[in-house]
């Protein structure tokens, strides 16, 4: 059974902190990688795709290590509004995605 | 832009009752999915469809049925509801399989008592 494993949470950080989430996946044939954000009692929303070369979107940086089957998400200068659960997501084939259980982030004043 | 619309948002069912969770999308996406999410757990794939007239089982299909008669609609049917089906159900769609990720509906919270 193919799995996506994430750091257990919650992560409690003060505003302005840098926080990193890690994720490992078991399917070496996976080609698509994402980080989703899920607010409490809401649907998951795409935060960013993860590319082999790494990618950055403002305060968010995602990296992929195919050899180690490892994905990371770095959030710099954390804001209160970053408090949410972050889901690591990997494709199982062309048609379906597998979701990790998520890591909860709590940013405090 | 409506995106993916799910109805109802909340429902309480008695054991043994049946219901249909509705999902419709207006983005002309071929791929549609049903997931369930239990507290503290990841999303589990129930069924998916790669186009009208085509459906396939996911990881946890038992107790559910789907149909895909049009590109827009992908209803999920629960027959003989059981307490184990208490969950939050999310419908999602995508343009080209997994390459661009999914767009999710806002979910249906179902309680079976």
Under an 8 A CB cutoff, do B101 and A46 touch?
yes
What are the angstrom distances between the C-alpha of B43 and each of A5, B20, B34? 13, 20, 10
Q: Which chain B residues are Cβ-neighbours of A29 within 8 angstroms?
A: none
A87 lies within 8 A of chain B by CB: yes
The whole-angstrom separation of Cα A95 and Cα B97 is 4
Q: pLDDT of A7-48, one tens digit each?
A: 878 999 999 999 999 999 998 888 899 999 999 999 999 999
Q: pLDDT of B4-61, one tens digit each?
A: 999 999 999 999 999 999 999 999 999 999 999 998 888 999 999 999 999 999 999 9
Q: Which of A34, A42, A43 sits opposite B101 (nearest CB)?
A: A34
pLDDT at A1: 59
Q: Which of B45, B101, B107 sits opposite A49 (nearest CB)?
A: B101
Nearest by Cα to B42 from A27, A50, A6: A6
Q: Is B100 left (phi over 0), alpha (psi -120 to 50) or beta?
A: alpha
pLDDT at A66: 92
What are the angstrom distances between the C-alpha of A69 and each of A48, A96, B97? 18, 18, 21
């Amino acid at each position: 059974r193919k799995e996506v494993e994430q750091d257990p949470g919650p992560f409690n950080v003060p505003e302005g902190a840098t926080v990193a989430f890690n994720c490992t996946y078991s399917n070496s044939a996976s080609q698509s990688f994402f980080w989703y954000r899920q607010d409490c009692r809401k649907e998951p929303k795409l935060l960013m795709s993860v590319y082999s070369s790494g990618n950055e979107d403002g305060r968010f940086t995602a990296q992929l290590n195919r050899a180690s089957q490892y994905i990371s998400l770095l959030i710099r200068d954390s804001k209160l509004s970053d408090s949410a659960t972050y889901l690591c997501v990997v494709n199982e084939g062309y048609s379906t995605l597998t979701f990790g259980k998520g890591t909860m982030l709590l940013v405090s004043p | 832009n409506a995106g993916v619309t799910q109805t109802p948002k909340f429902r309480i069912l008695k054991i043994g009752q049946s219901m249909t969770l509705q999902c419709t999308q207006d983005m002309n996406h071929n791929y549609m999915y049903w997931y369930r999410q239990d507290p503290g757990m990841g999303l589990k794939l129930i069924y998916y469809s790669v186009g009208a007239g085509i459906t396939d089982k996911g990881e946890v299909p038992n107790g559910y049925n789907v149909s895909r008669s049009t590109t827009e609609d992908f209803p999920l049917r629960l027959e003989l509801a059981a307490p184990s089906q208490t969950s939050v159900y999310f419908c999602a769609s995508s343009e080209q399989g997994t390459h661009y990720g999914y767009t999710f509906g806002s979910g249906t919270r179902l309680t079976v008592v």
